[in-house]
Structure 1
Amino acid sequence: MTAEIAIMSRTAVVLAADSATTVTTWKNGELEKRYFKGANKLYELSRRGPVGLMIFGSASLQTVPWELYIKSFRDDLGVEQFDKLQTYSEKFFDFVQHNDKLFSKESKKDALLRLLGGASYRLQNIIAAHVGESDVEHLKSTAPHEIDAALTQAEIDVENLILPDLVTEADIANAVSETAADLEAVAIQSIDIFVQDPDRAHLVPRFVAALIKLAVKQFLEYASLTGVVIAGYGKEEYFPILEVYDCYGFLGDRLIVKKNEDDSKTMDASSPAVIQPFATTHMIDTFRMGVSPDVFGAVYDSSRMALSEMGTRVMNECGAQNPLSQQQLEEIIAETRDSHADQWYEQIRNQHVFPLSNIINSLPLPDMAGLARSLIELESLKERVTRPSESVSGPIDVAVISKHDGFVWIDRKHYFKPELNPRFFKRAE
């Protein structure tokens, strides 16, 4: 888990992130989690341009730490600057996709094979369900003609799955050309329903084709998602910009990444200030709205139930000769509930969101940085006293990015003592 925040005014953007990281491993058949408090999640993306980057979610891109990509891109960029912040984002993801030194073509193929290996068990479960079995193990005693019929049904199921927007038919074709031959060669020894049963060998090509299609269509559901936040200015931009991307990793040779339009923000001369939390956001949302979002949802649901009970009771007490149908009653309840919620939310905006936004636009930069740090500390405190995991914790890194001062660290942790390593800072200079 992670807690991060971006606060934007017309003057600058402040980025803050905690340092907690969760490492998950399997031990004796049980999932074991360990928590550490020294992870870097906030980076300077350009040594010359006023641009910063934060990550949340997965700390690595299919086994390669994001930190390697970020710092390698920064070195590769050198003193080059771009007119638009969007260009930094495009160049960064292009660098990640085509850097074969960090993630080689062989590694990308191995990652694709691991993806197919995970989907193999899901496809066998689909086949087992069509046979009428609850466990893949039971398929070992199933007759080949029954497996054949169940595989036909599974192929139909896979074909009917919707292809996500970020994935194309070309991805399926590329995965087939990259891996089909390898999978068919090892299927008899490695896939449960074919092991030690030569009578099913003729089904392997069909199984592999369905497997590849299933894995690609479900890629987004099982990928290790990383949120990438890029903030700052291009040379021709005078107000800060915040761009947020959802990165799902490599599907073959292609990096699957999508801009999150809802969380991305652009400032201008008349824009209200922005408080945008990422990952764990409960206490930050409560601070800026004046009410916890889960409480808002609970009241919304309870209002519907109360209105439904009241409507039924009124009709019964009045002895209505032509009582409303259930559908009519639900329509009135929905309209009343939405109207009530709109009024309540308007009060939230007028009493909390708008005043806070107006104040932030007037805050000096040290106070903006202090606010960002305090909100992460508040999230960390909530996590520490309500959960045993402390998955939001550790030192808090804070940076301010402004048009003319560039990227400035306010709080930054080091894994070493700075006073003992002056040569480190000379090298950085």
Structure 2
Amino acid sequence: MTAEIAIMSRTAVVLAADSATTVTSWKNGELEKRYFKGANKLYELSRQAPVGLMIFGSAGLNTVPWELYIKSFREDLGIEQFDKLQTYSEKFFEFVQHNDKLFSKASKKEALLRLLGGASHRLQLMIASYLELRAIEELAQSPLQDIEEALQRAEADIENMPLPDLVTDADIASAASEAAADLEEVAPQSIQIFAQNAERTHLVSSFVSALIKLAVKQFLDYASLTGVVVAGYGKEEYFPALEVYDCYGFLGERLIVRKNDNDSKTMDASTPAVIQPFATTHMIDTFRMGVSPDVFEAVYASSSTALKEMGQKVMNACGAQNPLSEQELMTIMEETRESHADRWYEQIRNQHVFPLSNIINSLPLPDMAGLARSLIELESLKERVTRPSESVSGPIDVAVISKHDGFVWIDRKHYFKPELNPRFFKRAE
């Protein structure tokens, strides 16, 4: 996990990120987690332009660290600048998509085969469940006719699965042309359902076809998601912009990425200031709203129960000749609850969100940077005292990006002592 924040006013955008990273591994059949406190999540995307980038979620893209992509893009970009911030995002993802030196075509095929390998386990579980078996291993003893019928049922169910909006039928066709032959060759020896059973060999082609469709249709559910935040200015932009993307990695040769319009923001002369947290956001949301989100949800849920009980008690106490039906009572209850929640949330906006936004638009840049750092520290403190983990911790990196001063580090960790490495900074210059 991680905690990051972007604070935008009409003057600048401040980015801040903690340094915790979580590494998971299996040991003696149990999931083991380790925490480290030196990860870089905040980067300068251009040496010339006022643009920064943060990542959260997965630290790598199909096993390649994001840091390699980001710094390689920065070097490749050189002194080139663009009119709109959006162009930096587009160029960055184009660079990632077509950089075969960092993630080669052979590596992309290996990633696809790993994806299909995981889907083969899920497909066999589907077939086993149709046969009411408790484990995949029991498929080896199942009659051939039962296997055929269960596979046909799985094919029909997979065919009826909706295709997510980020993937297409072309992705299924591409994956089939890339990997079907390899899978059909190794399936009789490596996939449990066939278990070197010669009488099932004629089912391999159907199994592989269903497997590829299942893997592609479920790709978004099992991909390692990375959030990518790009913030700053294009040459023609005088107010900062913030763009957020969900990157799911490579599906064959194609990079699957989508812009998150809900979290992306653009400032103008009349826009309120923005406090946008990412990843672990509990305490930052509490600061913004004046109430914890889980408390809001708990009150919202409990009010439903209370209103329903009150409706029943009122009807019983009044001795209603024609009591309301369950559906009529639920309709009235929902309308009352929505009205109550709207009034409550309006108070939150008027007493907390709007005043805070107005103040931030007037804050000097050092105070904006201090606020960003304090909110990450608050999130880290909450994690440290309430959970037996250190998923939000370590040094906090803070940068301010303004139109004319560019990308300026306020707090930045180094894995070395700066005073012992003057040549590092001379090279950077």
- The TM-score normalised by the length of structure 2 is 1.00
Supply the distance in 2 between the matched residues of 1:63 and 1:201 (Cα, whole angstroms).
Answer: 34
Supply the distance in 1 between the matched residues of 2:206 and 2:419 (Cα, whole angstroms).
Answer: 64
Q: Please report how far the alpha carbon of residue 134 of structure 1 lies from its aligned counterpart in structure 2 after TM superposition.
A: 2.4
Residue in structure 2 matched with residue 409 of structure 1 by the alignment: 409
Q: Please report how far the alpha carbon of residue 196 of structure 1 lies from its aligned counterpart in structure 2 after TM superposition.
A: 2.3
Residue in structure 2 matched with residue 89 of structure 1 by the alignment: 89
Residue in structure 2 matched with residue 158 of structure 1 by the alignment: 158
Q: Please report how far the alpha carbon of residue 133 of structure 1 lies from its aligned counterpart in structure 2 after TM superposition.
A: 1.3
Residue in structure 1 matched with residue 8 of structure 2 by the alignment: 8
Supply the distance in 1 between the matched residues of 2:89 and 2:390 (Cα, whole angstroms).
Answer: 32
Q: Does 1:234 align with 2:221?
A: no
Runs of 4 or more, structure 1, over 2 Å off, are: none
Residue in structure 1 matched with residue 311 of structure 2 by the alignment: 311
SS at match of 2:257: strand
Supply the distance in 1 between the matched residues of 2:400 and 2:99 (Cα, whole angstroms).
Answer: 30
Residue in structure 1 matched with residue 193 of structure 2 by the alignment: 193
SS at match of 1:327: helix
Residue in structure 1 matched with residue 36 of structure 2 by the alignment: 36
Structure 2 unaligned residues grouped into runs of 5+: none
Residue in structure 1 matched with residue 338 of structure 2 by the alignment: 338
Q: Please report how far the alpha carbon of residue 259 of structure 1 lies from its aligned counterpart in structure 2 after TM superposition.
A: 0.1
Supply the distance in 2 between the matched residues of 1:311 and 1:351 (Cα, whole angstroms).
Answer: 32
Q: How does 1:148-227 map to 2 (within 5 A)?
A: 148-227=148-227
Supply the distance in 1 between the matched residues of 2:241 and 2:375 (Cα, whole angstroms).
Answer: 21
Structure 1 unaligned residues grouped into runs of 5+: none
Supply the distance in 1 between the matched residues of 2:420 and 2:138 (Cα, whole angstroms).
Answer: 64
Supply the distance in 1 between the matched residues of 2:31 and 2:181 (Cα, whole angstroms).
Answer: 34
Q: Does 1:270 align with 2:266?
A: no
Supply the distance in 2 between the matched residues of 1:47 and 1:248 (Cα, whole angstroms).
Answer: 27
Residue in structure 2 matched with residue 66 of structure 1 by the alignment: 66
Identical amino acids, percent of aligned pairs: 82
Residue in structure 1 matched with residue 291 of structure 2 by the alignment: 291
Q: Does 1:75 align with 2:75?
A: yes
Residue in structure 2 matched with residue 326 of structure 1 by the alignment: 326
Supply the distance in 1 between the matched residues of 2:283 and 2:386 (Cα, whole angstroms).
Answer: 12
Residue in structure 2 matched with residue 138 of structure 1 by the alignment: 138
Q: Please report how far the alpha carbon of residue 361 of structure 1 lies from its aligned counterpart in structure 2 after TM superposition.
A: 0.0
Q: Which amino acid aligns with 2:250?
A: F
Q: Please report how far the alpha carbon of residue 332 of structure 1 lies from its aligned counterpart in structure 2 after TM superposition.
A: 0.3
SS at match of 2:353: helix
Q: Please report how far the alpha carbon of residue 132 of structure 1 lies from its aligned counterpart in structure 2 after TM superposition.
A: 1.9
Q: Please report how far the alpha carbon of residue 135 of structure 1 lies from its aligned counterpart in structure 2 after TM superposition.
A: 1.5
Q: How does 1:15-30 map to 2 (within 5 A)?
A: 15-30=15-30
SS at match of 1:19: coil
Residue in structure 2 matched with residue 245 of structure 1 by the alignment: 245
SS at match of 1:305: helix
Residue in structure 2 matched with residue 109 of structure 1 by the alignment: 109
Residue in structure 2 matched with residue 281 of structure 1 by the alignment: 281
Structure 1 vs Structure 2 CA RMSD = 0.4
Supply the distance in 2 between the matched residues of 1:135 and 1:327 (Cα, whole angstroms).
Answer: 43
Supply the distance in 2 between the matched residues of 1:300 and 1:28 (Cα, whole angstroms).
Answer: 43
Q: Please report how far the alpha carbon of residue 23 of structure 1 lies from its aligned counterpart in structure 2 after TM superposition.
A: 0.3
126-135 or 274-283, larger mean C-alpha shift: 126-135
Instruction: Write out per-residue CA displacement over residues 62-87 of structure 1, whole angstroms, 9 at most, x where no aligned residue.
Output: 10000000000000000000000000
